[in-house]
A and B are shown apart, each in its own frame.
Chain A
């Protein structure tokens, strides 16, 4: 296998994620993909802004949202973005074990975030009978926040598959781009959440 040699060099290059053409392509391709995702979320935000006061007599934003839980969720996700930066830093140090450790922490923070979100939805449905079907606002809220949550689920599955698959063989030039593109995707999810926090929750509470 000639690949093993070319993908496992004696000394790792400074940027292992972009050392091969495949790596460069993946890196750039994911950036373009995030461009498309931006339009996707922009469309969802636009829809939400148009419908956020269309409560049809049901609960409104000011009745529902509590900033405490959302603040905790924001901190969890922001921290998980930071830990994924540490992981990429360790990747550039060619320290695979520490990279996996930081990614593991990232995954745990992501799961904690998801748990909070599930609790939040459960709370709205059972305490306020505020569902996906109760009003146009309900549909828009669950769709926007749910799409973000779906992205978190997908990202976590991606991360776990990556970590398990590569646990035994360590870092090479074949899997480095995969880790790196994951981290880009994870940052993007984080940025989207910052907008959700602002547009949905803060503006819902005071706007």
Chain B
């Protein structure tokens, strides 16, 4: 396939191209669009929740529908919005930052995306097939065992499929970073975003299997009559809580660490300084990841694990504030004395620091096991985790999108719209969630679909709902910005921000082979080094030669579709054994795809030197 032939295509050919692509940059776009779609869906669910809570004893939603709403809001935002958006940014940027031409397993990269998408679609099919899951995003047994209908079954199968996709993505990034860094790109020269991608992938690798097992146990209980959580047959419901949080707590670091990486890169670029305390930042990241595995039971302080266990987990949890504090001060130290540019990306970053710090502070409050008996399951907890996840992860994603949009899509997002959407969202966010701390302290429990009037909760809830709508408008303006930019936006140069890391050394958007010649890295912030001490551009590490590229394949799509069909089979075989056929057809399809993948040789193809020479620089 020549480069010219790849550019002349109709609409159907473009669709086919995206269905079969193994190019990390195109897969990144798929992740961003699918994640963005689910983000809007989760946002809509959030607005429904806030409308229901706008006034006391409201009847906008029924109690059952409210339970479905909160469950799907949490599940969608965590698994189908935040994580895919971050995986999209990692896919788009990390290989460029380390000077690689693609990821280690392009085929698996595509498979990971399609598994996530089909898992997400399967989960959301539940809305149209008799009701969504309604046992909360944590799906605690025995509630999730007792929940009637198929809602929770969709939760199980949807998350199982999309979780497998995420695990595959994590392994892929790990291997990419270990084996495919450009010459001279030592570990301690990697930009922080690549570092956090690496550490996050380790977390994904060791956290997701616990969820896999938890979901299997729930599946066996609900669909095949096993007795893991059935107390009458000796089962134990607390096992689910352990497995869920052994996964679930590292999961919040899976979400926040990449955001930390994004902020580090942005602060350094727009302060025109190398990151303050780079080494400390790297080790703080690793330390947070390590401690992140030892704190899961702080979600279970009220279960009754005993004072010793509670004390240990409380202290471990508080310890995480130390490396996080190191990071906060290093970001401030990077800006100190820097030549700071404030644009939309930087606004999100600056807003993140105080917002996330508030969330971190309430985190330490919650970590105190004795105090947690008061906070547990109140709006205080809701306020806390929205401060860290919205104030940290969502701000990070939006900052990263503003920062890397030119590199990914070749156009610069509009600054006016960007700033407008930032201020609306930022003010709306604090309006929504700050007051929830006090609602929680006044005793408002989470997950209740109504509250009574004249208990001091009326005004707070009204304010919170108004804030939520401001966030909604802010989000909508961001979408308008995307549409406006793709129609009328200015074309981005290779290096619009006077950047420091490798991704700004190649055109925007990059050619599909990324680097014509593998770059030679001479230090941290390699492009900046070349700008200040070198010739202004990166020195190649090799002469111009043929580039080896992987083959495109439709198999990941078909394989994921097979699992999707099998998912329906597992869910409905409880009602009618005829659905077992769907399991056989679906699993059979997936297995045949694996067999084809195994039997056929995939040697890839070469872009020849002559073709590369014809390309303009």
Contact = CB atoms under 8 A, between A and B. Distances in A.
A136 B230 contact: yes
Contact of A43 (B230, B243, B599, B606): B243
Interface string B243-261: 1001000000000000000
Judged by DSSP, the binding face of A is helix
A40 B216 CA distance: 11
A24 B105 CA distance: 11
A168 interface: no
Given A29-B104, A40-B209, A161-B598, A136 B234 contact: yes
B235 A28 contact: no
Nearest to B226: A139
Nearest to A35: B205
Interface in B147-174: 167, 171-172, 174
Given A44-B213, A50-B239, A136 B599 contact: no
Interface stretch (A51-59, A85-93, A100-108, A183-191): A51-59
Interface string A120-148: 00000000000011111111100100000
A28 B209 contact: no
A51 B234 contact: yes
A25 B101 CA distance: 14
Contact of B179 (A28, A37, A40, A51): A28
B234 A56 contact: yes
Contact of A135 (B208, B234, B603): B234
Nearest to B103: A25
B306 to A, nearest CB: 16
A137 B175 CA distance: 39
A32 interface: yes
A134 B226 CA distance: 8
Interface string B201-213: 0000111111011
Contacts of A71: none
Residue of B180, B212, B221, B239 with highest tally of chain A CB at under 10 A: B239
Contact of A54 (B213, B216, B235, B598): B235
Interface in A20-37: 21, 24-25, 28-29, 32-33, 35-37
B33 interface: no
A132 B221 CA distance: 10
B228 interface: yes
A206 B246 CA distance: 30
Nearest to B204: A36
A28 B206 contact: no
A25 B177 CA distance: 10
A79 interface: no
State which size class the interface on A falls in.
35 or more
B105 A139 contact: no
B179 A136 contact: no
Contacts of B206: 35-36, 39
A135 B227 contact: yes
Interface in A158-184: 158, 161-162, 165, 174
Given A36-B167, A132-B224, A143-B220, A43 B246 contact: yes
Contact of B175 (A28, A158, A174): A28
Nearest to A140: B228
Contact of B213 (A24, A35, A40): A40
Contacts of A158: 598
Contacts of A161: 595, 598-599
Nearest to A44: B213
Contacts of B615: none
A24 B104 CA distance: 10
Contacts of B235: 51, 54, 136, 139
Given A136-B228, A143-B217, A56 B233 contact: yes
Contact of A37 (B209, B236, B601): B209
Interface string A45-87: 0110011001110000000000000000000000000000000
A36 B217 contact: no
A44 B171 CA distance: 21
B297 to A, nearest CB: 13
B452 interface: no
Contacts of A50: 236, 239
Given A32-B171, A43-B214, A43-B243, 4 more contacts: A36-B209, A51-B235, A54-B235, A54-B236
13 contacts: A25-B175, A28-B179, A32-B205, A35-B205, A43-B210, A47-B243, A54-B235, A56-B232, A135-B227, A135-B234, A139-B217, A139-B221, A161-B599
Interface of B: 104-105, 167, 171-172, 174-175, 178-180, 205-210, 212-214, 216-217, 220-221, 224-228, 230, 232-236, 239, 242-243, 246, 595, 598-599, 601, 603, 606
